[in-house]
Chain A
Amino acid sequence: MKPTVNRERIAAAILTLAGVALAIALAYNPRLPGPSELVDAMFRPAVVLIEQMSEKWS
């Protein structure tokens, strides 16, 4: 019997491929900029402010 290709299977296949692609990218370049770098860049002014507060009290 021919298996039905439904939305769930397609989603699972795409997510698995994304995972494999990320695994290969991380294996070739372990220093690949990640989500934390993106978040740091997005909130740069707040990060500088919080760092100054921490240095003042440490």
Chain B
Amino acid sequence: MIDKGKISAAQLGKMIYLAITPTAILTAPGISFNFARQDLWLSPLWALSGAIAVPLVLGLNRLYPDCGAVRACRYIIGRIPGWVVGGALWLFYLYISGIILREYGEFVVGAFLSETPLVVVLGSLVLVCAFAVRGGVEIVGRFAELFLPAFLLLFLLIVLLIIPDLQITNMMPVLGEGLLPSMKGALVLQIWFSELSAAWFLLPFVSDRENAKKVLWITFGGIILTLLLSNLVTLLLLGELTGGFSFPFLILARYIDLAEFFTHLEALFMAIWVLGAFVKVCVYFHITVIGAAEWLGLRDFRPIVFPFALLLTLFGIWVAANYQGMTHTIATSMIPLTLAMFILVPAILYAIGRIRRLGSGRGGPAARPSHGSSRLRK
């Protein structure tokens, strides 16, 4: 392994949870509402891609337990095809990291720091993340462990304080047009659920891997619950207006007014978002750097962290001309792209790996392939 660090299964779960929910809470209700209308709150229940991703990544990890994902691609489908697929994987993660970074930047500049240039907001987060990523997977895992309680506490505080203003009539009629609208609303949510596939890159670092299956399923359930809750309170407060806001959950935080004392709590949401975005960018940044280092046949990933920080900042600017353009990309072309790269490609690799394993007469978990990394580098 290029990164010698180790994380626990619980840390893996926390990293994956924080690598999915922050952006899902921020942008998903507004996009999903255009498909699902008043059945928006039901959409997270159709988490099909997540239900596929969890067993898929566990299966892929069982094939080559101590191999990084990019190296496992070469072992499964051969040197040249594996080189192509591995390269596509880390480039895809770089692109996704750019999208995440841009979402963070647009939110911070649009809602709070309106006079600050976007490149400064993006660059400062990437610089902090680069230091964390350079420290290795252990550091990222510890940050996730540290920030998750604060993230959950602030999220639940906003939900609790908004309860007196919720209008139950906003969700009526429930299933008025059948299940189809909620299923269509779930289409865009598949982007976030399929992100559970990122666990494939992190599983080789898990020390107590026997607990990984349980932890990943709990994480998956936690993500569904969080999205269900955020979509529900957004819908019950904003009703038909939900689709008109770029960041509906921010409006929720701004709306809270208890006894004219608890007001302007958007600072809480800002705190949630910055903590979540930091861990999210760190996780994707780490995966990108580790993937690229494996692809390039490097022995150490640290020398390429800061060059990648520059590339990531530029990708954050390059991915879209403006926020509207990026939202359009997320709501349209990102859906087939993420399903292809997070679900389809790993599923094909797993199928080929299993067939090859059965063909060689070894049904059980794989031993490390006889041809090592040094041979692959030649």
Binding site for B on A (CB under 8 A): 7-9, 11-12, 15-16, 18-20, 22-23, 26, 30-32, 34-36, 39-40, 42-43, 46-47, 50-51, 53-54, 57-58
Cα-based distance from A31 to B303 in the complex (angstroms)? 31
**Contacts A11-B304, A40-B332: A26 and B314 contacting too (C-beta < 8 A)?**
yes
* 27 residue pairs from A and B, CB less than 8 Å apart: A7-B298, A8-B299, A8-B300, A8-B303, A11-B303, A12-B304, A15-B307, A15-B308, A15-B311, A18-B307, A19-B310, A19-B314, A23-B314, A26-B314, A26-B318, A35-B315, A36-B329, A39-B334, A40-B333, A46-B336, A47-B336, A50-B187, A54-B34, A54-B331, A57-B35, A58-B34, A58-B243
Cα-based distance from A22 to B306 in the complex (angstroms)? 15
- From B37, B319, B326, contact of A57 by CB (8 A): B37
List the A side residues contacting B333 at CB < 8 Å: 36, 39-40, 42-43, 46-47
The 8 closest A-B pairs by CB, nearest first: A15-B307, A19-B310, A8-B303, A46-B336, A34-B318, A58-B34, A47-B332, A43-B336
Known: A46-B336, A54-B332. 6 other contacts (CB 8 A): A8-B299, A15-B308, A15-B311, A18-B311, A19-B310, A34-B320
Q: With both chains docked as a complex, state the minimum distance between the C-beta of A50 and any C-beta of chain B, in angstroms.
A: 5
Q: With both chains docked as a complex, state the minimum distance between the C-beta of B315 and any C-beta of chain A, in angstroms.
A: 7
Q: Is B95 part of the contact surface with A, judged by Cβ < 8 Å?
A: yes
Cα-based distance from A7 to B296 in the complex (angstroms)? 9
**Contacts A8-B303, A9-B303, A50-B187: A35 and B318 contacting too (C-beta < 8 A)?**
yes
Main secondary structure, interface of A, reads helix
Q: Is B22 part of the contact surface with A, judged by Cβ < 8 Å?
A: no
Interface residues of B in 278-321 (CB under 8 A from A): 293, 296-300, 303-304, 306-308, 310-311, 314-315, 317-321
A43 B314 Cβ-Cβ under 8 A: no
B335 A46 Cβ-Cβ under 8 A: yes
Determine the residue in chain B with the shortest Cβ distance to A46. B336
List the B side residues contacting A11 at CB < 8 Å: 293, 296, 298, 303-304, 307
Cα-based distance from A20 to B304 in the complex (angstroms)? 14
Determine the residue in chain A with the shortest Cβ distance to B305. A12
A53 B319 Cβ-Cβ under 8 A: no
List the A side residues contacting B363 at CB < 8 Å: none
Q: With both chains docked as a complex, state the minimum distance between the C-beta of A34 and any C-beta of chain B, in angstroms.
A: 4
Q: With both chains docked as a complex, state the minimum distance between the C-beta of B375 and any C-beta of chain A, in angstroms.
A: 16
List the A side residues contacting B86 at CB < 8 Å: none
- What sequence of 0s and 1s flags, for each residue 325-354 of chain B, a beta carbon within 8 Å of any chain A beta carbon? 110010111111100000000000000000
Cα-based distance from A8 to B326 in the complex (angstroms)? 34
Interface residues of B in 70-124 (CB under 8 A from A): 95, 98
Q: Is B272 part of the contact surface with A, judged by Cβ < 8 Å?
A: no
Determine the residue in chain B with the shortest Cβ distance to A44. B333
List the B side residues contacting A40 at CB < 8 Å: 329, 332-333
A39 B337 Cβ-Cβ under 8 A: yes
- From A9, A22, A53, contact of B314 by CB (8 A): A22
Determine the residue in chain A with the shortest Cβ distance to B312. A19
Cα-based distance from A42 to B303 in the complex (angstroms)? 33
B304 A15 Cβ-Cβ under 8 A: yes
